[in-house]
Amino acid sequence: MMRQIRSERLTVAEANRLLGVDMDARFWSALVRMIACPELLFDAAAKVVTYPSYIPFEQMAREWIEGIEQGLHDVRACEHCGHYFEVGREPGIFAHPSEMRGFLCMPCAEGMTAREFYEKHMQ
């Protein structure tokens, strides 16, 4: 007898409750990207995480969140667009590299002129 695989869906609010956190949709989008499981999807428009029932999403997400809290993963929001990235694994630059402050993702950094960068992030 074959078991049917269900498609599970969690809104951002449900995922936050399930894991006892208070993260925004941009964080959940990044977390799904960082988990890097092809069957795990995030719909930014609907703010919903979707995955097959055989994927242990709660466990995987909890491990990543604990890793972030323990400093195993350096996850930061881009100062320009607000999306989250894992520093060292995803490309980006720092406005103040010696202090590791002012993270900018590469799409934002590449889309700015030197003047815009200076005026927004160096002053």
State the DSSP string of 36-103: T-TT-EEETTTTEEEEETTS-HHHHHHHHHHHHHTTSS-EEE-TTT--EEEBTTB-EEEEEGGGTEEE
The verdict on 93 and 34 lying in the same domain is no
Indicate the residue among 57, 73, 89 that finishes a domain: 73
The verdict on 27 and 62 lying in the same domain is yes
The verdict on 53 and 80 lying in the same domain is no
Q: Is 10 helix (H, G, I), strand (E, B) or coil?
A: strand
Spatial contact of 18 and 10, defined as CB atoms under 8 Å apart:
yes
Domain hosting 67: range is 1-73
pLDDT in tens, 29-83: 999 999 999 999 999 999 999 999 999 999 999 999 999 999 999 999 999 999 9
d(CA 54, CA 47): 21
**pTM as predicted:** 0.85
